[in-house]
């Protein structure tokens, strides 16, 4: 049943830092951006983890998760989403997929509760190691841009969903305006590939979520632009008083600063999406 990734599978460099901070006890299980209802008020004194939990809660509301369901989280990070479901749902099958054994080791520290079954697999998001029509819900939170193909992932998600099942997730896409800024494209792409890569379809030539869903046989789509609601995240991921990334030689920091610039300059979109299998 298990279809493991080859040892050479590339993991984004910023996870070296995230894994370390988790083990140090200075970071939680969520590894995605946060969500603010009133971003104009910025982050205030609210912990980043609270905003991350709010984004997760909004996605779970979109997914309409319920006890007894089979739920797959693709690109499951440290298991934050499934840990939350495990705590409040019962008699559910909660499965997570990731290419990084370090992240899966962290996930496996979550103890099953409420008669739930937890399963963690090292696998390719575009070649899911599950039978067709296995899951009621497939989740993919801020991970899809790392996959070798968004199109292949959508098709795999549709395959493993049961009829009536739902795909819910979030994605970061660059806008066409990025190609027209007065900076060579490679100067934008290089730091992000170094720190946040793999990012195979960096310029989003195949990133129309509605079209990808239609091609995979999914329908009844909802796509929500929450770019402004997620912008305050960079106060935490790349604070304004951060050391100069060139001086530090920190590839993850350089990538975070570039992502912050793209976000604040209006050159990227952060989307939430929901599609259903007929």
pLDDT of 1 over the 50 cut: no
Does residue 241 sit within a domain?
no
List Cβ neighbours of 45 (8 Å cut-off, separation of 6 or more): none
pLDDT of 16 over the 70 cut: yes
pLDDT of 243 over the 70 cut: no
Residue 4's pLDDT band (cuts 50, 70, 90): very low
**Residue in 30, 27, 26 with CA at minimum distance from that of residue 57:** 30
The secondary structure element, H or E, covering residue 214 is helix 209-215
Does residue 140 sit within a domain?
yes
In the prediction, which pLDDT does 185 show? 87
**3-state SS record for 98-166:** ECCHHHHHHHCCCCCCCCCEEEEEECCCCCCCCCCCCEEEEEEECCHHHCCCHHHHHHHHHHHEEEEEE
Phi-psi region of 106 (alpha: psi -120 to 50; beta: other; left: phi over 0): alpha
pLDDT of 7 over the 50 cut: no
Does residue 196 sit within a domain?
no
At 57-81, the pLDDT tens digits run 999 999 999 999 999 999 999 999 9
Does residue 258 sit within a domain?
no
CATH number at 84 reads: 3.40.50.150
Q: Which residues form the domain of 108? A: 14-172+203-231+268-276
Does residue 252 sit within a domain?
no
At 204-234, the pLDDT tens digits run 999 999 999 999 999 989 999 999 999 999 9
Does residue 250 sit within a domain?
no
In the prediction, which pLDDT does 242 show? 64
Based on the structure, what is the number of domains in the chain?
Answer: 1
At 187-199, the pLDDT tens digits run 999 999 999 999 9
In the predicted model, what is the mean pLDDT of residues 44-66? 93
Do 240 and 204 touch, CB atoms closer than 8 A? Answer: no
**3-class SS of residue 22:** helix
In the prediction, which pLDDT does 178 show? 86
Q: Residue 231's Cα: distance from chain center in Å?
A: 16
Measured distance CA(66)–CA(69) in Å, rounded: 6
Measured distance CA(186)–CA(192) in Å, rounded: 10
In the prediction, which pLDDT does 177 show? 87
Across the strands, what pairs with 71? 94, 137
**Burial degree of 25 (CB within 10 A; 0-12, 13-18, 19+):** exposed
Does residue 177 sit within a domain?
no
Do 91 and 114 touch, CB atoms closer than 8 A? Answer: yes
Does residue 49 sit within a domain?
yes
């Amino acid at each position: 049943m298990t279809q493991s990734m080859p040892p050479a599978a590339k993991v984004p460099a910023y996870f070296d830092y995230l894994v370390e901070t988790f083990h140090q006890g200075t970071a939680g299980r969520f590894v995605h951006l946060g969500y603010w209802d009133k971003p104009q008020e910025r982050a205030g004194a609210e912990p980043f983890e609270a905003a991350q939990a709010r984004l997760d809660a909004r996605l779970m509301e979109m997914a309409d998760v319920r006890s007894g369901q089979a739920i797959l989280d693709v690109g499951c990070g440290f298991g934050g989403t499934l840990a939350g479901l495990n705590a409040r749902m019962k008699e559910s099958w909660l499965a997570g997929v990731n290419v990084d054994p370090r992240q899966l080791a962290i996930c496996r520290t979550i103890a099953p509760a409420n008669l739930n079954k937890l399963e963690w697999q090292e696998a390719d998001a575009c070649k899911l190691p599950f039978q067709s029509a296995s899951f009621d819900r497939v989740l993919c939170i801020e991970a899809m841009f790392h996959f070798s193909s968004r199109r292949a992932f959508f098709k795999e998600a549709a395959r493993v969903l049961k009829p009536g099942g739902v795909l819910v997730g979030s994605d970061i896409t660059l806008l066409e305006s990025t190609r027209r800024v007065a900076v060579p494209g490679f100067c934008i792409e290089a730091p992000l590939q170094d720190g946040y890569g793999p990012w195979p379809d960096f310029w989003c030539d195949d990133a129309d979520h509605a079209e990808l869903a239609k091609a995979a046989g999914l329908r009844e789509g909802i796509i929500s632009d929450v770019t402004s609601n997620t912008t305050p995240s960079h106060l935490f991921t790349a604070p304004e008083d951060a050391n100069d990334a060139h001086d530090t030689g920190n590839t993850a920091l350089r990538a975070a600063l570039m992502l912050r610039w793209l976000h604040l300059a209006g050159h990227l979109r952060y989307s939430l999406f929901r599609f259903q299998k007929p």
